[in-house]
Structure 1
Amino acid sequence: MRPQEPAAPRAAKAKKSAGRDLRAAIGVGVGLGAVILASLFVYKPVFLGVIVLAVVVGLWELTSRLAERKGIKAPLVPLAIGGAAMTVAGYVDGAEGAWVAMAFTALAVLVWRMTEPPDDYLKDVTAGLFAAFYVPFLATFVALMLAADDGAWRVLTFLILTVVSDTGAYAVGWRFGKHKLAPRISPGKTREGLAGAVLFAMVAGALCTQFLIDDGVWWQGVLLGLAVAVSATLGDLGESMIKRDLGIKDMGSLLPGHGGIMDRLDSLLPTAPVVWLLLVAFVGS
């Protein structure tokens, strides 16, 4: 009797999976993009309201997860009010206004927590100060970009480069990724994905700076794209560290296919000051 040929290993036949609901993710992404573009180019203060809403929801997600997983009670009320004030102050009064609002937010966190027993006071206010810096203060740099004469185009460039960087990393890493970038932090990220993020962002940066930014030159966009790819990747890894410490996969579930608001802000927040600073250096404020 002819021996039966062994079946091909199941693993060899398995196809790579995207790891998320792409249909839902694309639908939510298109919807968010439409809201952002409409508010950004119709009336700047409306987009400022979008930033404030994202900040408040992001703070709610972050403080909720800290309380659930670690028992850390970072005071949400002063953080939300101070975060909103910080963002508006940055748009109206510039960097000085944002710093003043940040200082008062920190003070409010310290005082608000005094209304409860002193146990874990230091842990709670430290988490509150971290949340104030991580979410609203970094988001304020988007408001600073928005306040420029060509602010809508600066913000659009910032959003395009961050999204393109994330997309390049995901697409190239999913197709060609073999070498892990930071396996203990984010096993899905690869060095090939980082190379894809850099390449995609540099090309997009050259195009955006040349055609969207007043007095911008293509080579400035190449440098801008490189910086965005690095900061976006570090931001993603940073939130991955937070989520691993908390023992969760996503910060929330408000956005089907994406997770929570903070899961979309992870690469945007640390990238905002980078883009703001480089654009000011290249073409002025």
Structure 2
Amino acid sequence: MDPLDIVMDEVALEGLDGVTILSLWIRLEKRNPAFPRNLDPCTKEFIWKSLVSNHEVDFFELPQERADVVLVDRFADIDPDTGIQEASHWDRVDSYPVQILLEDKSGIQGSCVFFKERRNVTPIIRTTNLTPCVMLEDAFKRWGRKLVMVASQRLRFRVLIGDGGDPDLKLTDHSYCILERVGRARWQGELQRDLHSCSFKTDARKMHYLRKSLTQNDLITMQSHVLRLASGAQQHSILLLLKRFHVDRRSKYDILMELTSNLLSEAPNHTASMITLRDQLRVCIRTV
């Protein structure tokens, strides 16, 4: 992918909330696959000019500064022998509280906590013929972390549905915001439990219903996910990812099934009692 296309991809994945200048650099530095250019001052200025000159990007001033995005790898804390994630190391700061835009007459969809309060400063940043009026350094001095770059509705929807998706597909505002949230998570994905209990604060059954249209239209993938809490208890959920970010990861039960198969293949007559298997697998009777 062309470097400037990658930049637009990262801006679009941030959704209707948009992305601040500093958070964009963080996204590009941590991108997977890696961004093919060093983010030195000259490159950053070139990226800024390309964004300013792009008619699919608008610029807004927020009523207050937004904290920089914090990226944490949930999979770094997964035990390879069990497929279980240790919850004690996963403490992600959410810079994007959910505020669903409902039934917008212009067709805009997404979540944006300051949609009505933010001020469009695009005319200050570029002319009507897309000529930049403000340099990167001057823009940051003037607006700092209050300035966000927002991709058009068309572009944001395109990166969420993928190249093979139907551009004429219609989603409810709630389902779209779930898709937007999953897309912003990139390779990390979102746990359905977190979506209904923390982000959207809704009933689990309603979240299942809203998610259903995304799976029926083949927009997201689902995997089982097990979290071990600090208490030692295990919390089961479903990991949701955009199709473009899907990676097959072995769950706890995939690993246990393989171990069980190996044990039985080596046992006399390929047969063993449940008690013997439980002891060899070192799991509780409930897991068995």
Structure (1/2) with the larger helix percentage: 1
Structure 1 length-normalised TM: 0.26
Structure (1/2) with the larger strand percentage: 2
Higher Cα radius of gyration = 2
Structure 2 length-normalised TM: 0.26
Relative contact order (C-alpha < 8 Å, sep 6+): which is higher?
2
